[in-house]
A = this chain, B = another copy of it.
Amino acid sequence: MIQNTARPRGRPRSFDERDALEKATQVFWSKGYDGVTIDDLVAGMGVGRPSLYAVFGDKRAIFLRVLRAYAERKGASAAKALLSPQSLRDSIADFLRYAVESATQKRSARGCLMVCVAPLVNDAEVQRFLQSTVAGGAALVERRFRDGISAGDIPPDFPVATRAIQVTDLARGLTMRAQIGTPRRTLLKEAEEAAELVLLPRRRASK
């Protein structure tokens, strides 16, 4: 019962669709969007040109699929870091540390597809997708802050929405500096300092 869908009729494909998309991610990551040619994708994905067009479409379509798959993976990891059972402070610090770690792991592909590559793509659909992803990230952090209020880790008047946006902005700042070569160790330290910053209680209304 391992193949409930009968094998299709003609010659079988010589590539795996998911695997090819994964490889395409690396290609876009290391060369940017405009810098990638179809030949780069053909070489990097291990898919012949005609098959590539037939199965995936043109460069823009491939990039959109890559971006969606990437966002899903990254979002899941971020959610895991954020929502696993631990102190609020560790959650936020993990979230920021994860951003740094994933942005510094490969020398040939620093940064983040969604932070460093996609914003430059001049395409309405890509832009819409980014907006919703950015909003989704902030919403996730905000939820964690609210749980923190329930647990008594932060005061009930903690500005959850504002601080959530600030967390994601700080993450983007760290990611961008990862891209231009700031070393991981430095950024990890700063990630912890950022977590400390956003957990500071609001200033008491004085004067």
Contacts and interface: CB of A to CB of B under 8 A. Distances in A.
Nearest to A31: B122
A194 interface: yes
Interface in A168-207: 168-174, 176-177, 179-182, 190, 193-194, 196-198, 200-203
A180 B137 CA distance: 15
A177 B177 CA distance: 16
A134 B181 contact: no
Interface stretch (A11-19, A65-73, A110-118, A143-151): A110-118
Contact of A170 (B34, B119, B170): B170
Contacts of A197: 163, 166, 197-198, 200
Nearest to A129: B180
Given A166-B170, A197-B166, A203-B200, A32 B120 contact: yes
A194 B172 CA distance: 14
Is the contact region of chain A dominated by helix, strand, or loop, or is it mixed?
A: helix
A51 interface: no
A172 B119 CA distance: 13
Given A34-B35, A172-B173, A173-B173, A127 B193 contact: no
A162 interface: yes
Contacts of A127: 180-181
6 contacts: A127-B181, A169-B170, A169-B174, A170-B173, A171-B173, A197-B197
Interface of A: 31-35, 111, 115-117, 119-120, 122, 127, 130-131, 134, 159, 162-163, 165-166, 168-174, 176-177, 179-182, 190, 193-194, 196-198, 200-203
